[in-house]
Amino acid sequence: MGKTLFDKIWDSHVITDLGNGFMLLHIDRLLLHDLSGARALHEVMEKGYVPPQPRLIYATPDHAISTQPGRTEETFPPGAPLLRGLRANAAKFGIRLFDIGQDGNGIVHVMGPEQGLTLPGTTLVCGDSHTSTHGGMGSLAFGIGSSELEHVLATQTMVQRKPKRFRVQFEGKVPEGVTAKDMILHLIGDLGTAAGTGYAVEYAGPAIRGLSAEGRLTLCNLTIEMGARTGMVAPDDTTYEYLAGRDYAPKGAMWDRAVAHWRTLPTDPDADFDREHTIDMAKVAPQITWGTSPEHVIAVDRAIPDPDKGPEDKRAAWTAALQYQGLEPGKPIEGTKVDWVFIGSCTNSRLSDLRAAAAIAKGRQKAAHVNAWIVPGSERVKREAEAEGLDRIFKEAGFEWREPGCSMCIASNGERVPPGQRSVSTSNRNFVGRQGPGARTHLASPAMAAAAAIKGAIADVRKL
Ligand SMILES: CC(C)[C@H](C(=O)O)[C@@H](O)C(=O)O
Ligand code: SF4
């Protein structure tokens, strides 16, 4: 019987079978950030372990640094000791750290693929739930917890139980105004946030083949929001074109050998999955979340759901979500006034995302009452966007152009949406208080977020 993409990568990384379904896997890449990474490095130091293969480990500060223009590590004082600790311990162990202001710095899930650190057929882990992002390159990537992270630092291996296999096929053509973000939000809306628990997800079908490499990263990024720790897309020419020439990607004869190997990775036609689901792309419209879970999502031209008409087991959660969000059931969501627009995060802060937002902002003005932030995902994204004049387009439209980092996605650097205010955000979580205590978040694509900034309210990007 044939093998899946997941099985091929998994099997080639098993060091030993530990019994009871547990395997010891070799880890090809470990990425560290300034919250979980800094903490784990410190613990490992204290315990006297030494990373055996530091050249497979890379670090970048992203969560606890200010993104204010002209920032230094002191601009957000609580983050400074984290960065200093990360820097000192990385240097001690010979781990490459991409420091703020340097090429290579950025949100860990943006800089990994961008630098060619994330490669097809490899195992990649990070102490961060959105590590699933890297699966967009055809890598087997997991977010891991703090004790697993220390284990990887000390051994470059990890103990895992093999997940089941889940394939989602996206059939048909991508409709106007629909992006990778809308595809994954639609899927989560369909299946709910627990559907992927215990599975490794593979995204397949013609609409996935047609997605850009960056679109595939966006898609895989939200895999954790449907409960699966890993999501992946088989590598193809789109992947190889994206990776060719990147700093840490193989070069010359090594590149040719790597591509020949990568071409053997896609799922065999006769491989089996434990679960399958199909999405008809004709039914996917631009999405916007209305509640406090990524599954609380609707097409932008729909009405805010009525808990009394919803499934019985969801009524209490829907009612609480509507109350927190200050929304009335049955009313159109379009036209809901917004105070903030945040275009950034490891979901949607890459060059193609900023281009999509700039295409909407160009020649227009943001609504006077809206604070609109553009936070590029990495130093490289920022420089490339500036080289093609995107920063000017945004500034002329009244948006703020900032330094790279996680910023308002999680507000762990103090950048937050004030209580009671409403934001349209290109990030991946709309949980209670995620963008600051009392903040109300609506998740959407970069084009939809830019449209909301222009209109001053939730807007249908197809009508602009
Ligand atoms: C802080 C970090 C560990 C966390 C995660 O695991 O994802 C954060 O990045 C998030 O998005 O909630
Ligand atoms: S951008 Fe947001 S989701 Fe991504 S790693 Fe940072 S805090 Fe987590």
DSSP calls for 408-428:
GGT-TTS--PPTT-EEEESSS
126 annotated as belonging to a binding site for a ligand: no
Q: According to DSSP H, which parts of 332-440 are helical?
A: 351-361, 379-387, 390-396
Q: Is 33 in the pocket of ligand 2 (CB under 6 A)?
A: no
**Joined tokens for residue 263:** 């071409």
For residue 346, the CA-to-ligand 2 centroid distance in Å is 6
For residue 412, the CA-to-ligand 2 centroid distance in Å is 10
Mean pLDDT of 21-37: 97
- The protein residue whose alpha carbon is closest to atom 4 in ligand 1 is 128
- The protein residue whose alpha carbon is closest to atom 2 in ligand 1 is 128
For residue 276, the model assigns a pLDDT of: 98
Measure the CA–CA gap between 31 and 123, rounded to whole angstroms: 11
Contacts of 308 (CB under 8 A, 6+ apart): 315, 329
Q: What is the mean pLDDT of the chain?
A: 98
Q: Is 34 in the pocket of ligand 2 (CB under 6 A)?
A: no
Measure the CA–CA gap between 397 and 380, rounded to whole angstroms: 23
pLDDT tens-digit profile of 365-413?
999 999 999 999 999 999 999 999 999 999 999 999 999 999 999 999 9
Q: Which atom of ligand 2 is nearest to the CA of 33?
A: 5
Q: Which atom of ligand 1 is nearest to the CA of 409?
A: 11
**Joined tokens for residue 271:** 């491989």
Contacts of 52 (CB under 8 A, 6+ apart): 154, 155, 156
Map residue 375 onto helix, strand or coil.
coil
Map residue 379 onto helix, strand or coil.
helix
Q: Which atom of ligand 1 is nearest to the CA of 128?
A: 6
Structural domains of the chain, ranges and CATH numbers in brackets:
8-162+237-262 (3.30.499.10), 287-463 (3.30.499.10)
Kind and range of the H or E run holding 240: helix 237-243
406 annotated as belonging to a binding site for a ligand: yes
Measure the CA–CA gap between 225 and 22, rounded to whole angstroms: 25
Mean pLDDT of 84-102: 98
99-to-106, 164, 297 alpha-carbon distances in Å: 9, 38, 37
Residue 196 has pLDDT above 90, yes or no: yes
Half-sphere exposure of 305 (CA within 13 A, CB side): 23
Q: Is 345 in the pocket of ligand 2 (CB under 6 A)?
A: yes
Q: Residues with beta carbon inside 6 Å of ligand 1? A: 35-36, 63, 128-130, 143, 410
Q: Name the residue of 126, 406, 415, 429 to mutate for ligand 2: max ligand atoms within 8 A of Cβ.
A: 406
Q: Is 126 in the pocket of ligand 2 (CB under 6 A)?
A: no
Kind and range of the H or E run holding 60: strand 57-60
For residue 429, the CA-to-ligand 1 centroid distance in Å is 10
**Nearest ligand to the CA atom of 111:** 2
**Nearest ligand to the CA atom of 408:** 2
Helix, strand, coil percent values for the chain (each to nearest 5) = 40, 20, 45
pLDDT tens-digit profile of 418-452?
999 999 999 999 999 999 999 999 999 999 999 99
Half-sphere exposure of 23 (CA within 13 A, CB side): 13
For residue 129, the CA-to-ligand 1 centroid distance in Å is 6
pLDDT confidence band for 1 (50 / 70 / 90)? confident
Mean pLDDT of 182-207: 98
For residue 147, the model assigns a pLDDT of: 97
pLDDT tens-digit profile of 239-298?
999 999 999 999 999 999 999 999 999 999 999 999 999 999 999 999 999 999 999 999
For residue 32, the model assigns a pLDDT of: 98
Percent of the residues in the chain that have a pLDDT greater than 90, as a whole number: 100
